Amino acid sequence: MVNTFSRSLSRKRIMSNDGMVIGTLKNILVDLESGQVVDLIVRPDPTFDVTGYRVDGDRLLIPFEAVKDIKDYIVVDRFLSKQ
Amino acid sequence: MKSQITDVLGLSVYTDRAVFVGDVDDVVIDLDRKTIRALALGNLNTDIIDIKGYKGLQIPFRMIRSIGDVILVRHMPGLFKQKAKA
């Protein structure tokens, strides 16, 4: 079981599992009633093509379901992250 | 209701008997279950908690009753020292 502190995640880089850097983590959306972690709020890199992703202003929303692993990078599944 | 995790940081934590416990320093996330596992507290009320050299305290998420302007947790008689009766 892997636990991590939310502050250690801030400003981590997000990478999809095909090796593309998506951007940097800005915040995390949680459901405080159930405790579920819902979404990652990501600031996309200027060169990253955001078509197909959920966009809120200049921020990108990536479902936490897509997260594969978190070490030096946050690796997300490139198909699940577009839902 | 969805909230940003930074909204939780810094909130004060009280038990349901209105005793101050501490302030939220950090949130512990369980990456496998994709849930909040615990809240890490700092600035603890040393009258009710003796942490013996540790820096802080983690409150499991299931102990939390509600989160609003402050956070309410269940009062656990074994966990928190009883206030001396006047």
Q: Which tens digits make up the pLDDT trace of B23-74? A: 999 999 999 999 999 999 999 888 887 777 777 889 999 999 999 999 999 9
pLDDT at position B84 over 60: no
Residues of B in contact with A4 (CB under 8 A): 28-29, 31
Three-state DSSP class for residue B77:
coil
Torsion A72-A34-A60-A83 (CA) sign: positive
pLDDT at position A74 over 90: yes
Q: How many CB pairs under 8 A join A and B?
A: 73
This prediction's pTM: 0.86
Give pLDDT, residue B85. 46
Residue with tokens 């995390």: A28
Q: Is B27 near chain A, with CB under 8 Å?
A: yes
CA angle B21, B22, B24 (to 5 degrees): 130
Q: What is the C-alpha to C-alpha distance for residues A27 and B40, in angstroms, rounded to an integer?
A: 18
